[in-house]
Amino acid sequence: IILGQSEEIIDHVKSLVDKKTFLYRNLPKFDFSYLANINSSKFKIVYAGLMGVAQGIYDIVKNVDFKVLDVEFHLYGSGNELKLIKNYIKSNPNSNIFYNGSISKEELLKALPKFQASIVPLITYIKGAVPSKIFELIGLGIPILYLGKGEAANLINDWKVGYVCKPKEFK
């Protein structure tokens, strides 16, 4: 049997070989006992993960005015854009953008429920790519703001678990 994480991958494999296929969605089970009601007057969005060119977090930081939106944008992770992001935050201390470092997955799963939404960007389209963090966020009940296209965008729209816009569509 051939396992695939997306319909696009399954369709591609079926075009190459005559084998039984199975679509595997990585929707984990979580212990929800630590979740509490969010009692915050400030709307908070989170991004957790790699801060590289394919994600385009620095472009989001530069092009979205979180202060005007009265929204906090919290970042966790590392990557080759991190220095640019830290410099931007340092130069714009009232931007409502906060870098919280890199933390373990266990710590992150406890931190995520403090946020009202999560940005999941995939600036570069990769056929068959469905970022695994989408499934973790669904499991935690956190709405997704997806910047991308393809099957992941279709899943978010079809399952009504967030909003989708095109890559670099910052408005």
Per-residue pLDDT of 23-37, as tens digits, reads: 887 665 555 444 444
Q: Which residues contact 141 (CB under 8 A, 6 or more apart)?
A: none
- pLDDT exceeds 80 at position 102: yes
User: pTM of the entire structure?
Assistant: 0.84
**Of 79, 71, 3, the residue nearest 40 (C-alpha):** 71
Mean pLDDT, rounded, for 134-163: 91
Per-residue pLDDT of 19-75, as tens digits, reads: 999 988 766 555 544 444 445 568 999 999 999 988 999 999 999 999 999 999 999
User: What span, in angstroms and rounded, lies between the C-alpha atoms of 66 and 96?
Assistant: 6
Question: In this structure, how many other beta carbons lie within 10 angstroms of the beta carbon of residue 153?
Answer: 20
User: What span, in angstroms and rounded, lies between the C-alpha atoms of 133 and 115?
Assistant: 15
